[in-house]
Amino acid sequence: MTGRQFIGRVRRWARARKLEVRFVAAEGRGSHGTLYVGDRKTTVKDRRKEIGKGLLAKMLADLGIDRNTF
């Protein structure tokens, strides 16, 4: 899954739970940005590149999303 796909899936997940989602590209260095979901946040690396399993698990944990419901 790429960073762009991750953001899209998080948006759909959050919409179903009536949570606010926003991605701020300016809050990151280089190709990174910050994804806010409700009162939680995580850093998303280059949106065109693949996200590894370990990083994906950490990003989901940062946002409080259960991997099984994602």
Measured distance CA(21)–CA(15) in Å, rounded: 8
pLDDT of residue 29: 87
Higher pLDDT, 69 or 34: 34
DSSP code of 38?
T
Give the distance between the most distant pair of CA atoms in the chain: 31
24-50, pLDDT tens digit by residue? 999 888 899 999 999 999 999 999 999
Radius of gyration of the chain (CA): 11
Tell me how far apart the alpha carbons of residues 50 and 17 are, in angstroms, rounded to a whole number: 26
